[in-house]
Amino acid sequence: MSLPSAPVCGRGAASNPQHRFEAARREPFDDGWGGESDPPPELDTQVTEEQARSLIVRNRSPDLPFDLSINPYRGCEHGCVYCYARPYHGRLGLSSGLDFESRLYAKVNAAAVLRAELGARSYRCQPINLGSATDPYQPIERRYRLTRALLETMAAHRQPFTIVTKSALVERDIDLLAPLARDGLVAVFLSLTTLDAALARRWEPRAAAPWRRLEAMRRLREAGIPVGVGVAPIAPFLNEPEIERVLAEARRAGAQCAFYSVLRLPWEVRELFVQWLGAHYPERARRVLARLGDMRGAPPGCSAGSSMRSSEARFFARMKGEGPWAELVRLRFDMAAHRLGLGTHRFALRTDLFRVPGDVAQPELF
């Protein structure tokens, strides 16, 4: 008999599924002694320090609004169950489940590597995004301050950048961000998926509470920093009913523009999300999965929760979905944003102020 996965205190995932690179497959089995069915214990976070060989990642996806990105950490303690970056942990031989949110890696030489890459002859200044895969202000940033060091490096060389985060810790760096904002070098996007504290606690367990993110928006705007809101992802029958209310509260807090994406469940994320639905919202699980399938072009008769119904790899379609329900979400979002005066285009940042780092030495890699 296969065992159901129970929620782990303070974590988004309920299990550690095998990553897709493993050849052997394992499945838990109840032998009647009951030990496996005991409530899982709390899970401590482990951080491994590593020396990065490179830092700036080039994006080749035409449906993302940036070409360059930086992630100072691998894995993310926020534990968002829907995070599309979870499968990347498989490249480390770790699971996309609990491993992704509890076994983290800190690129401790990130600032030195960035400075070297900004000074490379081949580098051409473009805005860099922080937070494309893992949150640059996740809890361990309080200890490691890698994001702070990256901001100081970019400020010194007038490198434009954007930040995407679910954390109010971004307020700590207002002293750096405000002067850069006056020169058109920075914009911050707060991800706000829901106003429902119970839902946020369940699917984003270690991210800032919704009200705290709204407060961070207010403080950033008061400091003159451009602020946007990301309603990403939108999941039918979970946070989808809140689209208009989330945008209205974000606008009230000072947001100037908005974007969204529809939930997609690539690779192992699908299994984790189905487990999470069964644990927290069993009464609506079939409806959620069926509607996700409709938005991903599933053929009639496709079973709820199958891989065909949960993800789409094609550019443009993967972020917004297709079909009547995806179109309805788009219309609701666009109409609400227009009514509230929220732009749907990202902020334009300056690149003409960039200063090439002088006397750049090769960073120590080992």
> What is the tens place of the pLDDT at every residue in 135-183?
999 999 999 999 999 999 999 999 999 999 999 999 999 999 999 999 9
- Which carries the bigger pLDDT value, residue 358 or residue 175? 175
So where are the chain's domains?
44-340
| β-pairing verdict for 73-74 and 103-107 | antiparallel
Is residue 341 pLDDT above 60, yes or no? yes
Least confident of 53-67, 95-109, 185-199: 53-67
For the segment 298-307, the average pLDDT, to the nearest whole number, is 50
Task: Specify whether the CB–CB gap between 295 and 359 falls below 8 A.
Answer: no
Domain 44-340: CATH superfamily, name plus number: Aldolase class I (3.20.20.70)
Which pLDDT value is given to residue 119? 96
Least confident of 39-53, 55-69, 278-292, 300-314: 300-314
- Which carries the bigger pLDDT value, residue 135 or residue 43? 135
Is residue 67 pLDDT above 60, yes or no? yes
Cα 36 from Cα 27, distance rounded (Å): 12
pLDDT band of residue 3 (cuts 50, 70, 90) is very low
- Return the exposure string of 201-215: e unless at least 16 CB atoms fall within 10 Å of the residue's CB, then b: bbbbbbbbebeebbe
Cα 168 from Cα 208, distance rounded (Å): 6
Which pLDDT value is given to residue 238? 98
Q: Which two tokens stand for residue 107?
A: 């690129």
Which among 276, 344, 280, 351 has a CA at the least distance from the CA of 98? 276
